[in-house]
Amino acid sequence: MIVLGKVAEVRSVGGVQIARLRITETLKGAKRRELFFLAQSTWICDISAAKQGETVLLFLFSDVPVPATDDEETLFSLPKTFKRSLGEAGITEMFRIADAGRGRMPVRVMDHQRFVTLWVDDVKLPKDVETFDGAEPKHSFIRSVRLGDILHLVNEAISSR
24-78 pLDDT, tens digit per residue, is 999 999 999 999 999 998 888 889 999 999 999 999 998 776 555 555 555 466 7
Residues whose CB falls within 8 Å of the CB of residue 117, separated by 6 or more in sequence, listed in order: 105, 106, 107, 108, 134, 135, 142, 143, 144
Mean pLDDT of 101-116: 93
Specify the pTM: 0.88
Alpha helices of 40-146 — where are they, by DSSP H?
A: 82-88
Q: Find out whether 80 and 72 touch, Cβ atoms under 8 Å.
A: yes
If we measure between CA atoms, which residue out of 103, 20, 8, 22 comes closest to residue 60?
Answer: 103
As a whole number, the mean pLDDT across the chain is 89
Q: Find out whether 74 and 66 touch, Cβ atoms under 8 Å.
A: yes
CA angle 81, 84, 87 (to 5 degrees): 150
If we measure between CA atoms, which residue out of 10, 86, 12 comes closest to residue 22?
Answer: 10
- Please report the pLDDT score of residue 20 as a whole number: 98
pLDDT tens figures, 133-151: 877 778 888 899 999 999 9
